[in-house]
Amino acid sequence: MRMLPNRRRILWKLFRAGQLVRCEVSPHPFGMELRYLVNGKPILSRVFEEWEALEVAAATWCEGLLHRGWHASNRPVA
């Protein structure tokens, strides 16, 4: 079991065409809050009680974006 975050932590960042998607986790009174932000604006938030479920949700979202042409570097893809 992983330690719960005691402050906000960025799990991953993806880039495409000058856009940035960020996934972060923060402490929440009922567990951990997973947030997705596009260019700094929140688009989705969900609270989890278990770290493993949070990790699965974050990884699933990331994989979906990677399949849609997002990438982990802000450098242009050749």
11 dihedral zone (left: phi>0; alpha: psi -120 to 50; beta): alpha
Q: What is the pLDDT of residues 21-68, one digit of tens each?
A: 999 999 999 999 999 999 999 999 999 999 999 999 999 999 999 999
Residues 32, 23 contacting (CB under 8 angstroms)? no
Overall pTM surpassing 0.75 (yes/no): yes
